[in-house]
C-alpha cells in the first residue's frame, strides 16, 4: 500500500452526489491506517471560507469570481493541502481547479487561457520543483444535468450557482468533459445516474485499481 501523500479531488455538477462518497472514502482510508484530511473548495481555511461566503452569495462579474476562487485556492494550498501532503496524509478535497474551468470557464464563458495562467501562478509550489500541484486523481461524478436538477429541486435555498438554468449546467458538464480529455490519466469518470451502491463500487474500484485501497472489501 502506498504511504506517500495523496491528493484526491471530487468534481461534478451540483446534485451529482459527491458528499456521501467522499465521507465513505475517508472512512475506508482511515480503516487502513491512513491519516485523512477532508476539505473543500472554495474554502478549507478561515480566509478561504470567508471568500466562499462572498463568491456564493454576492453578485459579481466572472473575472471577480475566478480571482476569488484562485485567491481562496492559494491560501488553501499553502495552509492545508501542501502541509498535509508533506506529512504523507490523504487529502480528500471536494472540488478544485477543474471546477473553475467548468463553472467560470465553460459555464460563465470566461477566457480559458486566463484561467490557465492563474492556475500556473497559484499552483506552482516549492515542494513541486516548479511543476504545478495537480491532484493525483480526480473523481468526476458525471450526471446528466436534467437528472441533477430533479434531485436538487426543492432541496434547499439555492446559492448563485445552484440557481442557474439547465443550460448553464449543460455547459459545466461539457467543461468537465473537456478537462478530462486534456489529462485523461488523472480522471476517474463515474457515471452517477445509477443507484448509490453502484456508484460507490465504481468509486472504490478506482482506488483499488491504483493500489491505494485494499481490494475485496467493497461494502
Query: Can residue 95 be called a binding residue for ligand TYD (CB under 6 A)?
Result: yes
Residue with Cβ nearer ligand TYD (103 or 212): 103
Q: How many residues touch ligand TYD (CB under 6 A)?
A: 13
DSSP-derived letter for residue 62 is H
Residues 113, 105: Cα–Cα separation, whole Å: 9
Nearer to ligand TYD, 5 or 175 (CB): 175
Q: What is the DSSP letter of 189?
A: E
Give the shortest CB-164-to-ligand TYD separation in angstroms. 8
Could you say whether residue 69 binds ligand TYD (CB under 6 A)?
A: yes
Using the minimum distance from each CB to ligand TYD, give the nearer residue, 100 or 123: 100
- Judged by CB under 6 A, does residue 41 bind ligand TYD? yes
Residue 44 makes contact with ligand TYD by CB under 6 A: no
Write the CA distances from 65 to 4, 53, 89, 109, integer angstroms.
34, 12, 30, 12
Give residues 11-30 in contact with ligand TYD (rule: CB under 6 A): 14
Residue 94 touches ligand TYD, criterion: CB under 6 A = yes
Say how far apart CA 209 and CA 119 lie, in whole Å. 29
Distance of alpha carbon 81 from alpha carbon 65, whole angstroms: 22
Look-up of cell digits 484526491: 8
**Residue environment code for 13-49, b if the CB has 16+ CB neighbours within 10 A, otherwise e:** bbbbbbeebbeebbebbeeeebebbebbbbbbbeebe
Work out whether 119 is an interface residue with ligand TYD (CB under 6 A): no
User: Which of 5, 21, 28, 42 forms a contact with ligand TYD (CB under 6 A)?
Assistant: 42
**Binding test (CB under 6 A) with ligand TYD, winner from 77, 99, 180, 213:** 99
Contact segment (CB under 6 A) with ligand TYD among 39-47, 112-120, 187-195, 206-214 equals 39-47
Of 88, 93, 32, 92, give the one whose Cα is nearest residue 215: 32
- Asked if 161 is part of the footprint of ligand TYD (rule: CB under 6 A), the reply reads yes
Q: How far is CA 41 from the centre of its chain?
A: 7
As measured in angstroms, the least distance from the Cβ of 108 to ligand TYD is 8
List residues near ligand TYD by CB under 6 A.
14, 40-42, 69, 94-95, 99-100, 103-104, 161-162
Amino acid at each position: 500500500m502506498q504511504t506517500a501523500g495523496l491528493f484526491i479531488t471530487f468534481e461534478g455538477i451540483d446534485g451529482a452526489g459527491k458528499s456521501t462518497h467522499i465521507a465513505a472514502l475517508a472512512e475506508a482510508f482511515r480503516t487502513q491506517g491512513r491519516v485523512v484530511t477532508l476539505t473543500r473548495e472554495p474554502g478549507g481555511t478561515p480566509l478561504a471560507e470567508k471568500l466562499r461566503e462572498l463568491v456564493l452569495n454576492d453578485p459579481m462579474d466572472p473575472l471577480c469570481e475566478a480571482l476569488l476562487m484562485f485567491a481562496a485556492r492559494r491560501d488553501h494550498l499553502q495552509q492545508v493541502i501542501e502541509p498535509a501532503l508533506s506529512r504523507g496524509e490523504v487529502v480528500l478535497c471536494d472540488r478544485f481547479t477543474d471546477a473553475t474551468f467548468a463553472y467560470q470557464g465553460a459555464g460563465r464563458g470566461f477566457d480559458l487561457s486566463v484561467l490557465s495562467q492563474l492556475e500556473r501562478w497559484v499552483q506552482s509550489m516549492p515542494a513541486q520543483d516548479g511543476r504545478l500541484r495537480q491532484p493525483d486523481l480526480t473523481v468526476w461524478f458525471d450526471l446528466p444535468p436534467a437528472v441533477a436538477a430533479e434531485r436538487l429541486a426543492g432541496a434547499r435555498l439555492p446559492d448563485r450557482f445552484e440557481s442557474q438554468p439547465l443550460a448553464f449546467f449543460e455547459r459545466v458538464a461539457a467543461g468537465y468533459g473537456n478537462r478530462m480529455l486534456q489529462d485523461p490519466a488523472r480522471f476517474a469518470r463515474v457515471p452517477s445516474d445509477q443507484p448509490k451502491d453502484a456508484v460507490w463500487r465504481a468509486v472504490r474500484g478506482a482506488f483499488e485499481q491504483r493500489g491505494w485501497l485494499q481490494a475485496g472489501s467493497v461494502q
